[in-house]
Amino acid sequence: MNSNDPNHAPLRDVAQNPEATARYLAEVQRVLLDIGRNLEALALETRVHCRDTHVEGDRFYDAWLRAQPVERALKDVLKNVQAVTKGLEKSAFKRRAHDEVVANTATKRKEKELEKKQKNAPPLQAAPQNPPQQGAQGPNMGYGGPTSIYDLGNRESA
């Protein structure tokens, strides 16, 4: 594509292909991990320098107190870089999962439609409908009998 093309988007091809997206995000993640290692070294050197900077009249912990905001800020930056790298990895997996879901959607819809048709279709053979006989003694004698204690006949109530 030509960069003078008004419809040109530099990451459009990468966004359309999940493998390319994963490769691109892995490259960005590698860069961020390298930056994170450099920031860890910087934080350590800054900590040593700030804690060793004493001013005349300081108590033993004053340099440590002055160094705390700087150390905390660098620690927060490191935490954010690590969170971004985890988020990049997670988004690469979700991008691949999205393509799988899109690919399977048509087949799932067809399966649901078939199930719906099978549910709504009348049964091929209707079961014979024999009305229950009141005087017949069946194997489930205790279940199909009277519905009231007054209809017990020769049976006893509980």
User: What digits encode the pLDDT tens for the residues 82-118?
Assistant: 999 999 999 999 999 999 999 899 999 999 998 888 8
First to last CA, the chain: 87
Give the residue ranges of DSSP H helices in the chain. Answer: 12-16, 18-52, 62-120
The two structure tokens encoding residue 136:
């017949």
Q: At 29, is the pLDDT very low, low, confident or very high (cuts 50, 70, 90)?
A: very high
Burial of 25 (0-12, 13-18, 19+ CB in 10 A): buried
Verdict on whether the full-model pTM lies above 0.85: no
| Domain limits, the chain | 10-73
Specify the DSSP class assigned to residue 158.
-
